[in-house]
DNA sequence: AAGGTCATGAGGCACGTACCTCATTTCCAC
DNA sequence: GTGGAAATGAGGTACGTGCCTCATGACCTT
C-alpha cells in the first residue's frame, strides 16, 4: 500500500470545493448562522455527506475564544453518593481543561425541583454548552429542559433519567437490571430460601422503584422460596434507616437477607452491628461510599452494587464533546456498567 | 470575580518570555532536539515548572505532520478473549482517529515470544509512538521492550504485566483480587462447604497463577469448609478443557463448585450440559465471550468475572495521549475494574 | 429604474504548537 | 585573538476551524 492511498480527513476546504461555494458559506451552514439560501445550504449538506466530513473538534475549540462549558447540577444534602459524584467532577476537571472543556459544579437543594428549574432557566447558550442534571420527575424541570434546549443549551440527565423530556442523553445504569442482579445474588446466597427485607429511600424516585421491580421479579422467577418483606421507606436518611433496620431485626429473628436499594447506609451498618446479627444476615446495598465500604470490611454488608461515578463523569464529557461536534447525530457512549463489590475487590 | 482573574493557560510564548529565551529554544527543549546548553535548558525547565506549563496536545498534533500512532500486538489463535480485544480496538478506531490518534492492530502467534520480540525490534519512533503488547514473561521480549524504549518507542503491557521490564504502563485488572473475588463468591454460594475444582490454562501464565493464588487464599481465610481440587491445566483449549471437566464430574459425584480461571469455556459449558449436572454445580469463569454468555444464559455458569476490553482499550489510548503530552510525568489512568456478571446484568 | 435587502465570495487574523531556514552571537581551544 | 563549532534568535509557514470585515452581485419592491 503506497503513501497516496492514505486518505486525508475531509476539511471545510474540501467541502467548499465540492459544493462549489466559498469557505464563508460552509462556515455559515456549519454553525447555523443566517444568510444562506435553502438551496445553497442543501448543496453544502450534500457535500458534507458525500465527503463524510466531520468537523475537527480540537481545531474548532482552539479557534473559538471560549472553552466548551459543561455545568453539573448535583443535589446537595446528606447523600454520600452525590458527594462522590461532585468529587468525581473535581477529579476530572483538570484533565478536561487540558482538552478545553470547562467543568462547573453547582449544588442544588435535593428534591427542590423549582430551584433546579430556575437555575436551568438562567443558563444562556453563551455561558453553557451542556447542562447535566440529577433530577426527579417534576413538570417544572421538564419545562425548563425544553426551554433550555430551545435556547441552544443541551441538557443531559445523570443517574436518574427523565425519558419524556427534551434531555439529549442519559448517563447512568440500568436500574431494573441492577435490581435483578441483587435479587439473583440474594437468591444464590440463600439456597434454602428465607425471608428478605427490602428498604428503599422513596418509591417516588424512579431509580428506586426500578430497582425494586427488578429485585422482586428476579426472586419471583428464579428463587420462589425466598419471601420479600416490605418495602419500607427510610428516605435515604441515616437515623430513619437505622430505626427501620433495628425494628426489622427485632421482629424477624429468622431474617435471612436485607436489600437496601437506597441510601442511608450508615444507619444500616450501625443497626446491624448493634444487633450482633451482623454477618449472619446476607446484606446487599447500593453505591460504594464511606459507610458501605466500612460495612463490607466489617462483614456487615456482603455485596455493594455501584455505579462508578468517575466513569459516569467521563462519559458525560465524552457525550458533550460528541454533541459539540455534531449536534444532529445520535450520540453513542460506552454504557455505564453495574459494579459488584465484595470485600475482596474493593477499589 | 471579574474577568481578569481568569488565568489563561501558559503557552510556549509565556515560557520563552519567562525564561528569557526565544521560542526556538523552548521548542528544542520541549522536543528533546539538540543544540541547547545544559544551563539554558535548565532555565527553560524552571520556567515550565513555575508557570505550570503543559503542552497542548491537540495543538501539537495539529501542527505535526502525522497522527499519534499506537500499535497493538495481540495474540492470534483460538482465544475468544483476544478476539474481543481486537474487536475493541476496531470499535474505538474511528473515535480515536477523530482525535488524531491512529490505532493499528497486529496479530502475533500466541505464546511466540520470539516473533513478538522481532516485531518490536522493527518498530521505529517515526512510525510508532506507543506499542501495546499482551505477552508472557520471556527474556527476548524484555530485551525488545528495553531496546524499543531506547529508540523512543513507548511500550505498554495489556492484560498481563511484565513488572521487571522497561514497559511504561500496565493496563489491566488486579488478578489476585479477581481470584479472591471468585473465592469469596464461591464460598458464599456454598454455605455448607463442599468440593470445588479449579481449572487453569497454564500456571506459567502470570495472570492465571495470580488468580489461583487469590482464590485459594480467600477460601482458606474465609471459608475453610470448602476444599479445593486441582488445579488442572486445560491449556486454554476447548476440547482439552471439556475432557478435564467431564472427568472431574465423573470422578466427583458430590462436586459442588467449579472455577475456570483460564479460557476454553466452550468446552466447559459443553461438558457441563452433557453431564446433566448443569445448574447443580456452582460455576465461576472468566471473560465475557460467546461461550461464557451462552453458559450464563443456560444456567451452566453462575458468574463470569470480566476485564472490560473496551475499557482497557480506552485507557490505553488515554495513557498514550498523556504520555505524548509529557513523557517524564507519571501517568495515572482510571483503574480497570473487575466486572462481575450474572445472567441478570449481561451487557 | 432606483434603492434596498439579502446571499455570497474573498481574504485575513487568531488559537498553540511543530518544524524549517538563515543569520547572528557565544564559547572554547589553540 | 582567531578559527570553528555550537548555541541561540528571528521569523516564517502549516495544521483546521471560528469569526470578522468588506465588496460584489442578485433579486425584490415601489
B39-88, pLDDT tens digit by residue? Answer: 888 989 999 999 999 999 999 999 987 899 999 999 987 788 999 999 99
Contact state of A56 with B98 under an 8 Å Cβ cutoff: yes
Q: B118: Cβ–Cβ under 8 A, 6 or more apart, which residues?
A: B144
**B33, closest nucleotide (Cα–C1'):** C19
Q: B160: Cβ–Cβ under 8 A, 6 or more apart, which residues?
A: B134, B135, B136, B172, B205, B206, B207
Do B54 and B325 form a contact (C-beta atoms < 8 A)? yes
Do A86 and A159 form a contact (C-beta atoms < 8 A)? no
A chain contacts of residue B323, beta-carbon cutoff 8 Å: none
Q: Which three cell numbers stand for residue B26?
A: 523552548
How many angstroms separate the CA atoms of A245 and A198, rounded? Answer: 10
How many angstroms separate the CA atoms of B77 and B80, rounded? Answer: 8
Indicate the pLDDT class of residue B218, thresholds 50, 70 and 90.
Answer: very high
Give the per-residue pLDDT at A78. 74
The 3-state DSSP composition of chain A as helix, strand, coil percent (nearest 5) reads 50, 20, 35
Number of helical H runs and strand E runs in chain B: 13, 11
Give the per-residue pLDDT at A215. 96
Q: Across-strand partners of B262?
A: none
Give the per-residue pLDDT at B245. 94
How many angstroms separate the CA atoms of B271 and A322, rounded? Answer: 46
Q: Does B195 touch chain A (CB under 8 A)?
A: no
Q: B164: Cβ–Cβ under 8 A, 6 or more apart, which residues?
A: B142
Residues of chain A with pLDDT under 50: 1-5
CA-based R_g, chain B, Å = 25
A chain contacts of residue B314, beta-carbon cutoff 8 Å: 334
How many angstroms separate the CA atoms of B282 and B276, rounded? Answer: 13
Give the per-residue pLDDT at B1. 37
Give the per-residue pLDDT at B4. 39
Min distance B73 CA to chain A CA atoms (Å): 20
Nearest CA in chain B to A283: B188
Q: Which residues touch strand D (CB under 7 A)?
A: A 8-9, 11-13, 23-24, 27, 30-31, 53, 55-56, 59-60, 62-65; B 20-25, 28, 34-37, 39-41, 59, 62-63
Q: What is the CATH number of domain A175-306?
A: 3.40.50.2300
How many angstroms separate the CA atoms of B267 and B241, rounded? Answer: 5
Give the per-residue pLDDT at B214. 95
Q: Does B69 touch chain A (CB under 8 A)?
A: no
- B162-182: pLDDT as tens digits: 999 999 999 999 999 999 999
* DSSP category for residue B335: P
Give the residue among B47, B28, B46 at the shortest CA–CA distance from B37: B28
Q: B71: Cβ–Cβ under 8 A, 6 or more apart, which residues?
A: B103, B104, B105, B106, B123, B128, B130, B131, B132
What residue is closest to D13 (Cα–C1')? Answer: B63
Average pLDDT of span B142-148: 96
Nearest CA in chain A to B99: A58
- B13-24: pLDDT as tens digits: 999 999 899 899
What residue is closest to D17 (Cα–C1')? Answer: A60
Indicate the pLDDT class of residue B126, thresholds 50, 70 and 90.
Answer: confident
Do A150 and A169 form a contact (C-beta atoms < 8 A)? no
- The three-class DSSP label of residue A339 is strand
Give the residue among B268, B254, B257 at the shortest CA–CA distance from B296: B268
Chain A residues 115-174 with a CB less than 8 Å from chain B: none
pTM tops 0.85: yes
Min distance A37 CA to chain B CA atoms (Å): 30
Domain borders along chain A are 3-51, 59-170+310-331, 175-306
Give the per-residue pLDDT at B6. 54
Strand locations in chain B (E): 68-75, 101-108, 130-133, 154-158, 169-171, 194-200, 226-233, 255-260, 282-286, 303-307, 338-341
The CATH superfamily assigned to B59-170+310-331 is Hypothetical protein af1403; domain 2 (3.40.50.10550)
- B292-338: pLDDT as tens digits: 999 999 999 999 999 999 999 999 999 999 998 887 778 888 889 88
Contact state of B100 with A218 under an 8 Å Cβ cutoff: no
Nearest CA in chain B to A99: B58
DSSP states of A253-271 as a string?
Answer: TTEEEEEE-SS-HHHHHHH
Smallest Cβ–Cβ distance between B177 and the set A99, A218, A345 belongs to: A345
Give the per-residue pLDDT at A320. 95
Contact state of B343 with A184 under an 8 Å Cβ cutoff: yes
- A79-93: pLDDT as tens digits: 889 999 999 999 999
Å between CA of B34 and C1' of D9 = 16
Do B303 and B264 form a contact (C-beta atoms < 8 A)? no
Give the per-residue pLDDT at A1. 37
CB atoms within 10 A of CB A81: 22
Min distance A280 CA to chain B CA atoms (Å): 11
- pLDDT above 80: residue B128: yes
How many angstroms separate the CA atoms of B254 and B235, rounded? Answer: 25
- A144-201: pLDDT as tens digits: 999 999 998 999 999 989 999 999 999 999 999 999 999 999 998 898 889 999 999 8
Say if B59-170+310-331 and B175-306 have the same CATH topology: yes
Number of helical H runs and strand E runs in chain A: 13, 11
Average pLDDT of span B111-116: 90
Give the per-residue pLDDT at A325. 84
Smallest Cβ–Cβ distance between B345 and the set A98, A181, A342 belongs to: A181
Domain B3-51 classification at class level: mainly alpha
Contact state of A58 with B100 under an 8 Å Cβ cutoff: yes
Amino acid at each position: 500500500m503506497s503513501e497516496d492511498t492514505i486518505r486525508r480527513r475531509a476539511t471545510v476546504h474540501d467541502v467548499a470545493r465540492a459544493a462549489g461555494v466559498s469557505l464563508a458559506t460552509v462556515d455559515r451552514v456549519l454553525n447555523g448562522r443566517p444568510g444562506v439560501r435553502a438551496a445553497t445550504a442543501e448543496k453544502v449538506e450534500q457535500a458534507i455527506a458525500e465527503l463524510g466530513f466531520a468537523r475537527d473538534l480540537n481545531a474548532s475549540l482552539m479557534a473559538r475564544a471560549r472553552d466548551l462549558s459543561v455545568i453539573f447540577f448535583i443535589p446537595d444534602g446528606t447523600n454520600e453518593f452525590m458527594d462522590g459524584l461532585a468529587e468525581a467532577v473535581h477529579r476530572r476537571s483538570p484533565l478536561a481543561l487540558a482538552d478545553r472543556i470547562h467543568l462547573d459544579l453547582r449544588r442544588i437543594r435535593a428534591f427542590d425541583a423549582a430551584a433546579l428549574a430556575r437555575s436551568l432557566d438562567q443558563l444562556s447558550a453563551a455561558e453553557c454548552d451542556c447542562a447535566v442534571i440529577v433530577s426527579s420527575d417534576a413538570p417544572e424541570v421538564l419545562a425548563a429542559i425544553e426551554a433550555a434546549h430551545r435556547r441552544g443549551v443541551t441538557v443531559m440527565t445523570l443517574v436518574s433519567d427523565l425519558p419524556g423530556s427534551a434531555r439529549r442523553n442519559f448517563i447512568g445504569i440500568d436500574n431494573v437490571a441492577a435490581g435483578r442482579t441483587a435479587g439473583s445474588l440474594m437468591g444464590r446466597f440463600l439456597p434454602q430460601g428465607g425471608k428478605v427485607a427490602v428498604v428503599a429511600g422513596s418509591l417516588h424516585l424512579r431509580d428506586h422503584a426500578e430497582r425494586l421491580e427488578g429485585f422482586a421479579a428476579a426472586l419471583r422467577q428464579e428463587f420462589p422460596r425466598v419471601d420479600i418483606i416490605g418495602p419500607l421507606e427510610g428516605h435515604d436518611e441515616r437515623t430513619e434507616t437505622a430505626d427501620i433496620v433495628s425494628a426489622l431485626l427485632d421482629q424477624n429473628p429468622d431474617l435471612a437477607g436485607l436489600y437496601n436499594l437506597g441510601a442511608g447506609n450508615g444507619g444500616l451498618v450501625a443497626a446491624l452491628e448493634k444487633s450482633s446479627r451482623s454477618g449472619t444476615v446476607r446484606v446487599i446495598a447500593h453505591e460504594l461510599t464511606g459507610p458501605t465500604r466500612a460495612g463490607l470490611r466489617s462483614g456487615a454488608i456482603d455485596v455493594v452494587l455501584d455505579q462508578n461515578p468517575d466513569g459516569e463523569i467521563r462519559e458525560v464529557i465524552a457525550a458533550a464533546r460528541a454533541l459539540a461536534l455534531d449536534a444532529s447525530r445520535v450520540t453513542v457512549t460506552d454504557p455505564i456498567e453495574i459494579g459488584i463489590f465484595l470485600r475482596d475487590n474493593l477499589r
